[in-house]
Structure 1
Amino acid sequence: MKQLHSLLKTNAYRFIDQSNLGPSFSALQSFAMDDALSMSVGERISPTTARLWVHHDTIVLGIPDARLPYIKDGIHYLKENGYDVVVRNSGGLAVVLDDGVLNLSFIFPDSKQVNIHDGYEAMVSFIQHLFADLTNGIEAYEITQSYCPGTYDLSINGKKFAGISQRRVKNGSAVQIYLDVSGSGAERANLLKHFYKIAKREEETRFSYPEINPEVMASMNELLGTSLRVADVRDRILMKVHEISGYIVTNPLEGEEIEWFHKRFEHMIKRNEKVLEKLE
């Protein structure tokens, strides 16, 4: 196994666990949190930060998804199936979040001096080390028939269980990963397969949307034959972060960070209203 990426090696981490806040915790709040933390870490107010988050029955769309020719019908289908729908402010396409999916953000400083690929490589390195006792088969390459395909898809034996995105704000960067811990990866993929079928139909589009094959996606439990819970992976992450740095602080947002969060959250709400209102 490769050595742990240098971006991860720091003498202190801030650890923020929002994985058990329940269904009322909105994905828009998460994006605002990462923006506020990126500003704080970028200005060296906060140390490098690891934030955990879970959202219940939420579909996070990418900007290109909002341009699908029959997107109104697609959103109606998702809502009929009990999912909240939001539009993200980082790259990528639609992903499924539920209580079996754990999200991890690493907030790094010096984004203007660090190559964007280093952020992705750092997250890949961390996840490989995090589960080294269970598998050495985690690979990073695009799983083209998955939802939200990308160069840094994580898979085992060709089946994707995680995807990574990155957002840079000021001088900080938030590298975000979703980990399908439990449940059925194929069922999540099937939901979005039908979404694209409804929202695109047979129309020609400038943007190339994925032709999803549910068989190329699975949860970690399905791939490893384990019975991991989101809480188990949360504990692993906390222990690994402590092992790397030896020092963890758990401060909530403070002072100017709270102000930044509220401004970013308000911006996210207005932005989503603007995008989704056009689709009414």
Structure 2
Amino acid sequence: METIHALLHPQAYRFIDQSSLGPDFSALQSFAMDDALSMSVGEGMSPTTARLWVHHDTVVLGIPDARLPYISEAIDFLNSEGYEVIVRNSGGLGVVLDDGVLNLSLIFPDSKEVNIHEGYEAMVSFVRLLFSDLTDEIEAYEITRSYCPGTYDLSIRGQKFAGISQRRVKNGSAVQIYLDVSGSGAQRAYLLKRFYEIGKRNEETRFQYPDIDPTVMASMNELLGTGLTVSDVRDRILKKIYDLSGKVVTNPLEEQEIEWFNKRFEQMIQRNEKALDRLK
């Protein structure tokens, strides 16, 4: 039986569902939202928060991706395939988001006292609990030939379906995971395989970009033989956080949080414009 991580047992959860906002909801807004909520949770203004988000046909690149020798041509390729491209101002590499990918942020307080690995372990524990009725085979280790490989990749029988990142702001930490719920994991991986082939060609680079093998990635439905939808997983998350705390609130952003969000969103827009302008 999966051990429930201590961070998953707050007195209450705040639940913010932005999974059905549609194509106009930008990934830049998501990063600003998590920053604002991290500040709020860190200040004790908000309880531990679970935020759900979906972005349609978007590729989120990491800072190292922007240093590819032929990055402009690579971005042109993604645009030609119908994908919006943004560059986040944090670590990690490119990931593919679409309407079959559910993103979850668990936002915890006391980041200055809690080891960074604790946040990752809490998310691993949560996902195992979330799907414990469907599988006990979820493992956490780096799938080296996936896109955005990392120590806390989640896989079943060697095929990755989720990746975890963490961003710390002030005294709060947002642990973010993308879950490939439906669709083809291999098709998403092939898109980024072509991106790196076009962006790197045969040039030597100081940074080692992933040599992607699309067969090591799959969606949960492909791995489990299920017909899960993003809405199904949303309902599972809501039920699970209630089971873990006994209290869930759905308060909208307060005045101070809106101010923090607007400031962070403007910063994200400016930084992203500068990052993309450098690539022209």
- The question of a shared fold, defined as TM-score above 0.5 by the shorter chain, is answered with yes
Kindly provide the amino acid, as one letter, of the partner of residue 22 in structure 1. Answer: G
Question: Residue 121 of structure 1 aligns with which residue?
Answer: 121
Deviation at 1:179, TM superposition (A): 0.1
Alignment of 1:11-22 (within 5 A): 11-22=11-22
Provide the aligned length of Structure 1 versus Structure 2.
Answer: 280
Question: Residue 254 of structure 1 aligns with which residue?
Answer: 254
Question: Residue 88 of structure 2 aligns with which residue?
Answer: 88
Question: Residue 63 of structure 1 aligns with which residue?
Answer: 63
Alignment of 1:78-227 (within 5 A): 78-227=78-227
TM-score (norm 2): 0.99
Kindly provide the amino acid, as one letter, of the partner of residue 160 in structure 2. Answer: K
CA contact (8 A) 2:102 2:230 kept: yes
CA contact (8 A) 1:90 1:165 kept: no
Question: Residue 234 of structure 1 aligns with which residue?
Answer: 234
What is the rounded CA distance, in whole Å, between the counterparts of 1:214 and 1:188 in structure 2? 8
What is the rounded CA distance, in whole Å, between the counterparts of 2:68 and 2:46 in structure 1? 39
Kindly provide the amino acid, as one letter, of the partner of residue 235 in structure 1. Answer: D
**SS of alignment partner, residue 267 of structure 2:** helix
Deviations 1:38-63 (A, max 9, x none): 00000000000000000000000000
Deviation at 1:140, TM superposition (A): 0.1
Question: Residue 39 of structure 2 aligns with which residue?
Answer: 39
Kindly provide the amino acid, as one letter, of the partner of residue 67 in structure 1. Answer: R
What is the rounded CA distance, in whole Å, between the counterparts of 2:223 and 2:90 in structure 1? 28
Runs of 4+ with >6 A deviation: none
Question: Residue 8 of structure 2 aligns with which residue?
Answer: 8
What is the rounded CA distance, in whole Å, between the counterparts of 2:156 and 2:68 in structure 1? 31
Instruction: Give identity over the alignment, percent.
Output: 77
Deviation at 1:12, TM superposition (A): 0.3
